[in-house]
Amino acid sequence: MTEQLTTPTPESSSRKLGLEMTAAALARLLLNTSRRFAYPFAPALARGLGVPLVSITSLIALNQLTGVLSPLFGPVIDRWGYRTMMLLGLGLMSIGMLAGGFLPVYLTILLALFLAGLGKNIFDPALQAYIGERVPYERRGTVIGLIEMSWAGATLIGIPTVGLLIERFSWRAPFLAMGGLGLVSIAMLGALFSGGSRRSKRDAGAITFGQAWRQLSRSSAALGMLTFAFLTSMANDNLFVVYGAWLEDGFALSVAALGTATTVIGVAELSGEVLTASLSDRIGLQRAVRIGLFLSALGYLLLPVIAQSLTLALVGLFLVFVIFEFTFVTAISLVTEVLPEARATMMASYIAVAGLGRVVGALIGGPLWLWGGLTAIGTVSAAIVLLAFVVFWARVRI
C-alpha cells in the first residue's frame, strides 16, 4: 500500500510537470521583462537618475553583453543541476532589481540590469536542459513553444505593466515589483521542481568543463545547430534594426505609429510560438525547421515586392517574424536533444552564438540599408537563411 501511495502514476507525473512548466513560464516572463523593459523606458530611467540618455543606453549594451558569458555557465549547470541553477538565475535577478529599487543611483541600476541579464542567461539554458531531460522528445516542441510564449509576453504584458507602474508610482516601482515577484518565483520553483538531472543524481559532477566542450566541438549536429543559430539570428536582426527607418521613410509613420508596428512584431512572436506548440511535433522537428527556413528565405525576398502600401508592409512584416519565431523556437526543441550528456552546455552555447549573430546582423543592417534599401536587406537576409538551410540539411541528424 505504501509503495502505491508514494510511486507517482503517469497521470500525476504529467500533472506535476504541467505545474512545473507553468511556474517556469511565469518566472521566465518576469526575467524577460527585466531584460527588455529598459529599452522603451530609457528616457524615464535617465530622468529619474538625472543622467544623460546615453548613460542608460550604455547600461542596455552591458545587459546585452551578458549573453556572451552564457557558455561559461553551461558546464556548471550540467555539474550542479538544473534546478539549482534556475534558482540561482532568479536569485541574481531579484537581488539586482531590489538593489536598484532601494538604492536608486547609477551604479546600482547598472548592477541591476547586469544581474537581470546574467540571471536570464543562467536560467534559460538550465530550464531548456531540464525540459530536454524530463519531456519526451515527441512532445518537446509543444512544451518549448508554450514556454517561449513568455518572450512575446514580455512585450505584450510585462512592458505595458512596467509603464503603468512608472506612471502611477515612480520609475523605481518596477524594480521593487520585479524583485519581489522574483522572490515569490524562487519559492514556487523551489517547491515544485525536482532536484538536478537524473544523471547528476547517479554520478554527481559526472561531466567536467573540458569533457563538455570536447563533446560539443566533436559533434557535427552541435556545430551545425550553432551555425544555424548564428546565421538565422543575423538575417533577422539585419531586418530588425532598419524596419523602423523603412516604415518611417516609406510611409511617413509617426513615433506613435511605430509603436503600433512594434506591437505587430510582439503579436507575430506570440503567433510563432503558438505555431511551434501546436504544429512542430506533428510535422517533426527537423522537417518543421527546414520548412521554416525555406519560408523565411522566401519572406525576406518578397517583403520589398509586396510592401506597396502600409497595410501590406505590416502584413509582410508580421509574416516574416511569425516564420522566424516558429523556425527558431522549433530549433530550440531540437537543440535539447543534440548533446544529452551536456544539455546545458549546448543550450548556453546556442544562446550565446545566436546573440553574436544578432550583433553582426545589427552591424551590417545599417550600411546595407543606406546602400540598397529594403531590397538589399531582403536579398542579403534571404541569402544568409539559404546558407543556414544548407548547413542544417548537411550537418544536423538527430
Range of the structural domain that residue 173 is part of: 19-196
pLDDT at 181 over 60: yes
Handedness of CA 255, 256, 261, 267 (dihedral sign): positive
By CB atoms closer than 10 A (0-12, 13-18, 19+), residue 125 is buried
What pLDDT is recorded for position 90? 96
Position 318 pLDDT exceeds 50: yes
Q: Does 247 map to a domain?
A: yes
Distance in angstroms (rounded) separating the CA atoms of residues 150 and 33: 9
Same domain for 221 and 104?
no
pLDDT of residue 169: 92
Give per-residue pLDDT as tens, 244-267.
778 877 787 665 566 666 678 888
Classify residue 302: in a domain, yes or no: yes
Co-location of 29 and 124 in the same domain: yes
Burial 336-360 (b: 16+ CB within 10 A, else e): bebbeebbbbbbbbbbbbbbbbbeb
What is the model's pLDDT at position 67? 75
First to last CA, the chain: 42
At 31, which CATH number? 1.20.1250.20
Residues 146-161 have pLDDT tens digits of 898 888 888 888 888 8
| Interval 27-70: pLDDT, tens | 999 999 998 888 778 788 888 999 887 787 777 777 767 777 77
Give the SS3 label for residue 338.
coil
Same domain (yes/no): 183, 328: no
Q: State the pLDDT at residue 287.
A: 94
Does residue 281 have a pLDDT over 70? yes
My answer on whether 190 and 217 are in the same domain is no
The pLDDT tens digits of the residues spanning 84-137 come to 999 999 999 999 999 999 999 999 999 999 999 899 989 999 998 899 888 888
Burial class (CB in 10 A: 0-12, 13-18, 19+), 364: middle
Residue 200 has pLDDT above 50, yes or no: no
Q: Residues 6-23: pLDDT tens digits? A: 334 455 577 888 899 999
Residue 3 is predicted with a pLDDT of 33
Q: Kindly tell me if the per-residue pLDDT of 2 is higher than 50.
A: no
CB of 178 within 8 A of CB of 34? yes
**Domain stops at, among 196, 229, 252:** 196
Same domain, 189 and 262: no
Cell triple for 370: 543606406
Together in a domain, 226 and 190: no
- Considering the chain, what is the average pLDDT of its residues? 85
Kindly state whether residues 107 and 41 are assigned to the same domain: yes
Looking at residue 328, its pLDDT comes to 94
Domain final residue, candidates 196, 230, 264: 196
Neighbours of 307 (CB within 10 A): 21
Q: Which residue has the higher pLDDT, 338 or 227?
A: 227
- Write the DSSP assignment of 19-64 as a string of letters: HHHHHHHHHHHHHHHHHHTTTTTHHHHHHHHT--HHHHHHHHHHHH
Number of domains in the chain: 2
Of 258, 276, 380, nearest in space to 329 by CA: 276
Q: Are residues 85 and 185 in the same domain?
A: yes
Q: Residue 98 CB: number of other CB atoms within 10 A?
A: 19
Q: Is 144 found in the same domain as 269?
A: no
Mean of pLDDT values over 281-307: 94
Same domain, 236 and 122: no
d(Cα 381, Cα 249) in Å, to the nearest integer? 20
CA distance 284 to 336: 14
What pLDDT sits at residue 393?
A: 94
pLDDT-above-70 percentage for the chain: 90
86 & 113 share domain: yes
Which of the listed residues 161, 196, 231 is the one where a domain comes to its end?
A: 196
For residue 187, give the DSSP letter.
Answer: H
